[in-house]
């Protein structure tokens, strides 16, 4: 069986994501679509609007056959480490292709990835640094930069993996308006948070139903926990947190003392040097007490249908895929994700210790003979 992987947040799952899965399956001629998805905290450095199980279920009903989780410490990392984890998991799960949305599908992503050999660290890799890094090539669009990072790790970890860039339709990554049936996740999130109806034209019915029955989560809901962390942590202790360097710990503590909400803190912290996304990642690391990035060990199965189950039976993934999280996993490879999930539970409770979602309907994903 031929497999194509997609690395995603699905925050929330929208029509553009459905188009990506459909196009990737057709172009790669995949029997199985694997989604490597962020959990309850995402790469933009914020809590997911809806918990990971609900998002995995919608993905399974909208074109995916197999949904696995990227561990939290990588899911909230800067592009380089986020991409490394995604490509590594795709390689573990024997994907033949890796599809990703981008603004410039004709770009030579592998050639551009050579720029990443310049010395840089995860701590420095925010949008400002990325702009400097790619200044020579005028490469500045977020998804293109992420694609270059995928190419960097594809060359080093999974050279047999075919990169499959898929052009984004209708809306740019940071577009603020919803003008049609496909919109940016940014615009959709803003519409949901305003509690207006505009987002409904840009998400599939399954996602609409989830959003109707569940209150979306935002950063402000975690403000009391972050505020407590900042009031009980010294500058010296903050310097142990991943991404806290260059003296920003002193600025964070000083501004936190003058802020009464998360958005006020973000406004007070913002400078030309640090983008909102970079700051959010730093604050997420503080909130979750994330320190040194440990080697990636395993991924967790969140959802699978009959097609995906057939694929799993073809291979032995026991060393890298958790279908059930054991006590040993919770104290080792899955410890930080467990911490993040327990905190998320305090704001938006759900069935925490559940087993993977099993969907028996294969629908239009029947196998075909290959010549």
Q: Known binder of ligand: residue 17?
A: yes
Q: Does 8 count as an annotated binding residue?
A: yes
Give dist(CA 50, CA 59) in Å, integer: 13
> Has 18 been labeled as part of a binding site?
yes
> Is 268 labelled a binding residue?
no
Name the one residue in this structure whose structure tokens are 């919803």. Answer: 178
Among 189, 156, 190, which residue's Cα sits nearest to residue 80?
Answer: 156
| Residue 14 marked in a binding site | yes
Q: Give the Å distances, CA to CA, from 132 to 80, 113, 116, 125, 184.
A: 15, 14, 12, 10, 25
143 is in an annotated binding site: yes
Question: Is 16 assigned a ligand-binding role in the annotation?
Answer: yes
126 is in an annotated binding site: no
Q: CA-CA distance, 126 to 81, in Å (whole number)? A: 12
Q: How far is CA 155 from CA 5, 100, 145, in A?
A: 16, 16, 16
Contact by Cβ (8 Å): 184, 174: yes
Find out whether 86 is annotated in a ligand binding site: no
DSSP bridge pairs for 162: 97
- Residue 330, annotated ligand binder? no
* Strand ranges (E), 39-174: 41-42, 46-47, 66-70, 97-102, 162-167
**Annotated binding residue 109:** no
- 74 belongs to an annotated ligand binding site: no
Do the annotations mark residue 20 as ligand-binding?
yes
Annotated binding site for ATP: 7-20, 101, 143, 168
Annotated binding site: 7-20, 101, 143, 168
């Amino acid at each position: 069986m031929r497999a194509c992987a997609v690395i995603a947040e699905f925050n929330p799952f929208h029509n553009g994501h459905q188009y990506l899965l459909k196009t990737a399956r057709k172009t790669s001629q995949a029997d199985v679509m694997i989604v490597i998805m962020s959990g309850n905290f995402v790469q933009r450095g914020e809590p997911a609007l809806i918990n990971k199980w609900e998002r995995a279920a919608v993905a399974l009903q909208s074109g995916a056959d197999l949904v696995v989780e990227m561990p939290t410490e990588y899911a909230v990392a800067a592009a380089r480490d986020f991409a490394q984890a995604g490509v590594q998991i795709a390689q573990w799960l024997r994907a033949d292709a890796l599809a990703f949305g981008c603004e410039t599908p004709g770009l030579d992503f592998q050639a551009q990835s050579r720029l990443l050999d310049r010395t840089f660290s995860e701590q420095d890799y925010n949008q400002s640094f990325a702009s400097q890094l790619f200044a020579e090539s005028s490469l500045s669009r977020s998804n293109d930069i992420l694609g270059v990072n995928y190419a960097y790790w594809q060359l080093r970890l999974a050279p047999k993996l075919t990169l499959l860039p898929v052009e984004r339709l209708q809306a740019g990554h940071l577009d603020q308006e919803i003008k049609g049936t496909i919109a940016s996740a940014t615009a959709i999130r803003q519409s949901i948070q305003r509690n207006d109806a505009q987002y409904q034209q840009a998400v599939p019915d399954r996602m609409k139903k989830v959003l109707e029955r569940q209150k979306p989560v935002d950063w402000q809901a975690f403000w009391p926990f972050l505020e407590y962390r900042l009031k009980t942590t010294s500058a010296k202790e903050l310097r142990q947190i991943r991404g806290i360097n260059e003296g920003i710990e002193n600025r964070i503590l000083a501004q936190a003392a003058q802020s009464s909400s998360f958005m006020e803190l973000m406004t007070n912290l913002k400078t030309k040097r640090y983008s909102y996304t970079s700051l959010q990642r730093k604050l997420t690391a503080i909130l979750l007490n994330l320190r040194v990035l440990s080697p990636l060990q395993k991924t967790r199965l969140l959802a699978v249908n009959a097609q995906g189950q057939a694929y799993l039976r073809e291979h032995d993934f026991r060393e890298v895929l958790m279908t059930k999280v054991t006590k040993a996993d919770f104290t080792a490879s899955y410890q930080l994700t467990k911490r993040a999930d327990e905190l998320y539970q305090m704001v938006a409770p759900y069935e925490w210790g559940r087993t993977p979602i099993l969907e028996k309907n294969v629908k239009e994903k029947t196998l075909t003979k290959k010549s």
